[in-house]
Amino acid sequence: MNLRRHLTVIALALTGTAFLVAAGCGPASNGTTANQGNTAGGPTADAEGAVTLTADQMEKGKEIFFNRCAGCHGVLRKGATGKNLEPENTKVKGTAYLEAIITNGTPAGMPEWGKSGILTPDEVKLMARYIQLPPPPPPERSLKEIKDSYKLHVPVSKRPTAPPAGRNWQNYFGVVLRDVGKVAIIDGDTKQLVSIVNSGFAVHILRSSASGRYFYSIGRDGKVGMIDLWMDKPDVVAEVKAVNEARSVETTKFEGFLDKYVIVGGYWPPMLVIMKGDTLEPVRVISTSSHEIDNGEFVREARVAAIVADHHSPTWLVNVKETGQVWIVDYSKLGDGDGPVSINMISAERYLHDGGWDTSKRYLLMAANARNRISVIDTNTKTLVANVDSKGITPHPGRGANLIHPEHGPLWGTGHIGSNHVSFIGTDPQGHPGNAWQVVRTVELPGNGGGNLFIKTHPNSQHIYCDRPLHPDKELADSIYVIDKNTLTNKKTLLIPEKYRGHKAVHMEYNKQGTEVWVAAWGRKDQKGAILVYDDKTLELIAEITGDWMVTPTGHFNVTNTKDDIY
């Protein structure tokens, strides 16, 4: 690395700038255009320094941007978790600067796409130029197009009427094999592979039906799959391409409406798609484009970052990321799809990302990670209770972690992408009013910088687990951090086995009983990954689940914990 580039990376680390974050890359449009002529050769610049790409290079850049970049920076590249990468911002930085960031990442959470080998040197050069050119217009999607993509593989009448004999299917895990477009179903008792299911590209999450019988998968490509776990070899019984890009799917969990509907939130187009819960037949589309809460400016790309089903009322709570609104969507009068859907829009904070319930499932805590705050929604009164300073940089809780502390009472925890803080917020305004809606304790993970994506615990465990896969230090990214619930200190750091070093340890999930913690060793597509199983009491590695089929394992979801929102 030359001196100029080395100094650039140091400056970024000191300022905490994350130009292209954990799913991210960016845009452009400063009077420059793509070269539609010769498609051979590499990126070029004209005599005045304007960047040009061939049509083939633009297509390649578009594909990489979708796969790695749009999640944080947006299809229109206006930013959210990641920075705004419109041309007036990217072009002034220069190509060498952008190449350095894409290659090396930053401690604030930008992955080292080049250094890790996920992008080749030529791809890094391409993306540094691609994001200085105007983004191609993204396609829209109509209800008719959604319905045309719908496939019912196995009608309800032809599905099993009883769960598989001899299997504890409620302790199944669904493991996302991200880059090969598959989901592995693993028996949590025996650690045996039960089935490998074809899914959408880069599945983001799995959500259990209220009964636990079905996994609903949502891919980055907007494809929804309905996996029947009662089959001897679980498989997709219905599928639909709801949107072009997505992160969230959820079922209905209120008594009387259990699994009646399924909802998908679109990144692009920004909208909600509601389907029938037993067949995935599409019935309703609702745009989420709206006006943001700061200045009332209209936001076309108002993406749905997370959806949580209320257990106590017939509603979903929907994070509309760029607007800073939490929508309470009432499905009680929807009927067969032709009835009304009422929406209560609550102004919270920007930019909303992810979060989950407190222990009572009355309060919903959502990270507004651009403002380093946690928005708290009271689902009884349907109001914003507080915007809590998270005491860290870029909170990223996943669903978060709930615990009952002997001194502070009920707490909810989040880690941070941009700093090494794990923060615990009081969630009991009746029993512990002095602690309610403020950070009562922070824990600093070893080393500087953040990189945390997920935090997890279980009512039967005395521990809280944090990962750090976005940290540029390989040893820190290969570690899981164990926090003691009583002392709220980092009790132990678990470094994954040497043969998986450099893979990145990501996402923790307990088994149904809360006695084991499963961690993914997430490597490149050409590496064999693993699910590492730790004993929660001894913190010793007790099993490695691997095979030639274990390619890019990332999120993994236990049936019972997912359906009951245990975290």
CA dihedral 239, 241, 246, 251 (to 10 degrees): -40
Contact indicator for 27, 131 with CB cutoff of 8 Å: yes
Pair of tokens at residue 26? 């960016």
Pair of tokens at residue 380? 């009884």
Pair of tokens at residue 16? 């905490």
* 3-state SS assignment for residue 217: strand
Known active-site residue 73: yes
Known active-site residue 58: no
d(CA 212, CA 229): 8
Pair of tokens at residue 545? 């689940």
Q: Which of 25, 231, 275, 396 is catalytic?
A: 396
| Alpha-carbon 231 to chain mean position | 28
d(CA 434, CA 455): 25
Contact indicator for 73, 90 with CB cutoff of 8 Å: no
H helix runs in 216-261, sequence order: none
The DSSP H or E segment spanning 365 is: strand 363-368
d(CA 206, CA 208): 7
Pair of tokens at residue 138? 């993204």
- Whole-number Cα distances in Å, 328 to 229, 315, 346: 30, 6, 8
Known active-site residue 353: yes
The strand pair at 325-330 and 342-347 is best described as antiparallel
Q: Which of 75, 80, 125 is nearest to 100 (CA)?
A: 125
CA dihedral 383, 386, 392, 394 (to 10 degrees): 20
List phi, psi (to 5°) of 214. Answer: -115, 145
Q: Which of 271, 275, 353, 416 is catalytic?
A: 353
Contact indicator for 323, 270 with CB cutoff of 8 Å: no
d(CA 374, CA 401): 13
Q: Which of 25, 58, 73, 405 is catalytic?
A: 73
Known active-site residue 69: yes
Q: Which of 58, 69, 127, 275 is catalytic?
A: 69
Q: Which of 25, 58, 110, 231 is catalytic?
A: 110
> Within a 13 Å sphere around the CA of 192, how many CA atoms are in the beta-carbon half?
7
Residues belonging to the active site: 69, 72-73, 110, 353, 396
